[in-house]
Amino acid sequence: MKEDKMQVISKVFNDDSIRTIWDKEAEKYYISVVDVISTLTGTTRPRKYWSDLKSQLRVEGSEVSAKIGQLKLKAEDGKYRLTDVSDIEGIFRIIQSIPSKKAEPFKIWLAKLGSERIDETFDPSLSLQRAIDLYRAKGYDEAWIAKRIRALQDRKQLTDVWKEGGIEKDFEYAILTNEIYKEWSGMTSKEYKQHKGLRKESLRDNMDSIELILTDLSEEAAKLIAQEQKPKGLKENVEVAKSGGNTAKVARTDLEKKLGKSVVTSTNKLDYEYLEEKDNKLKEK
């Protein structure tokens, strides 16, 4: 498996994120085994569960091991580590060895996953429709969904402009994004997520309409300024990113004066709360 021919994709099964890789050369998915085990068993130690199961399968003479490879996947701490992955056929075989009520619905999900990429190749709008359907299923209203989809399109245009300006590395994109956030919201993306009580969840998926609009405005302004000034390299692009963020900051300041309150909220769209955070709140009382 050549990693330069891989595209990292996050798939969701019953609100559980399954780290997934699309191999564009082989035209197949590779899926994180420990993520599947975590979802099916609910264990807090999926790596230990997988280690024991893998040993058991080897003793039984199973051919599953031949289907296992390793790829660097992003962990919860943001670092990339080698992780056992398998194609859909291999995952099916692993599932057969895991007693779980979720096994059958997960198999159906896998079957759909296997065909959707081929469908999207011929009709890219299907990918967009799946995103819209997922947001609807999570309870987002139509106006919010429209803004979110538009923001996704605008974000892609911005990163294309950054690329033209010599931005190539992931950390550079992260720096520019943080500069935009800091300028208009006063927080980095990490601080913003903490403000909303988020961890690995998407920040933008937990913004309300006005927060999304201000984020989109800041990035659209940064894109237009970059197209006009044509900055080169990280240093020049940082200044443009700040200018774009300042455009949204001016709009935010004016709106907050009229509303008499901040439009940057601590609310999120989660239907759960982290236990230790809840305990800390109780202690503070």
What does the pLDDT look like over 56-73, one tens digit per residue?
888 888 877 777 888 888
Query: So what's the pLDDT on residue 118?
Result: 47
Query: So what's the pLDDT on residue 7?
Result: 57
- Mean pLDDT, rounded, for 259-280: 79
Residue 123 buriedness (CB in 10 A; 0-12 / 13-18 / 19+)? exposed
pLDDT confidence bin for 211, thresholds 50/70/90: very high
Distance separating alpha carbons of residues 170 and 94, to the nearest angstrom: 34
Distance separating alpha carbons of residues 221 and 157, to the nearest angstrom: 12
Greatest mean pLDDT among 49-58, 193-202, 241-250: 241-250
| Cα 46 from chain centroid (whole Å) | 21
Decide which of 247 and 81 is more confident.
247
Is the distance from CB of 262 to CB of 208 less than 8 angstroms? no
- Mean pLDDT, rounded, for 117-130: 57
Q: Is 80 helix (H, G, I), strand (E, B) or coil?
A: strand
In the chain, what percentage of residues exceed pLDDT 70?
87
pTM score: 0.58
